[in-house]
Amino acid sequence: MSFRNAVNLSHLCVKMRVKPDDTVVDATCGNGHDTLFLAQIVTRGRVLAFDISPLAIANTAARLKEHGVSHRVELCQEDFRNLRAYVRSPVAAIMFNLGYLPGASRETATKAEHSREAVETAVNLVRPGGVVTVVCYPGHQGGAEETHEILAVTGGLSQKEFEVLKVDFLNQAHNPPLLVAVYRLEGDRA
């Protein structure tokens, strides 16, 4: 067993915190890989999945249908900075996978300032004991700036309320993706 990469590790972080009847969020559904992963772990729960791109929403819908889990997922073609309008009560997990939609134009990439705002909103929408995962791509065009923004906003969170881990894959070539995992603390530390 190995962790392989930041996306795979983000799944592990989420699995450790999510129960089958939870509500969870995919903030950047892209081609639907994370959305499908979430739908497969909340077998009695619900997934809210967002993407601003109609192509991403269509690709995700097709993937969910293929795996027979569409009924557990609400797809929203929406800017991820507007999460708060849809997430009415605290959720167990919110996943971000930044960068551009694989297979589509790179002009559709997430933008540093927008991503910062969305992540800042997300950390306040998870319950105590819940987690926000952010996969960042410092090697992409504009990705270094975006990564910098994510590290700045999560690194500034209150130590009393959140635990923030950054995981780098040190010996991989070509600026590999990294993971930021924000845990909302429970109990007397919260």
Tell me which residues touch its own copies (CB under 8 A). Answer: 1-4, 129, 151, 154-159, 162-173, 180, 183, 185-186, 189
Give 178's DSSP letter. Answer: E
Nearest approach in angstroms of CB 24 to its own copies is 18
Comparing CB distances to its own copies, the nearer of 8 and 40 is: 8
Q: Contact, 51 vs 35, CB < 8 A?
A: no
Phi, psi of 37 (to 5 degrees): -55, -45
Helix axes 6-15, 33-41, angle to 10 degrees: 20
| Min dist. Cβ of residue 35 to its own copies (A) | 26
- Closer to its own copies at the Cβ: 88 or 160? 160
Residues 6+ apart with CB under 8 A from 113: 149
Nearer of residues 10 and 59 to its own copies, judged by Cβ: 10
Shortest distance, position 177 Cβ to its own copies, whole Å: 13
Nearer Cβ to its own copies, position 58 or 144?
144
Asked if 59 and 32 count as a contact pair (C-beta separation under 8 A), the reply is yes
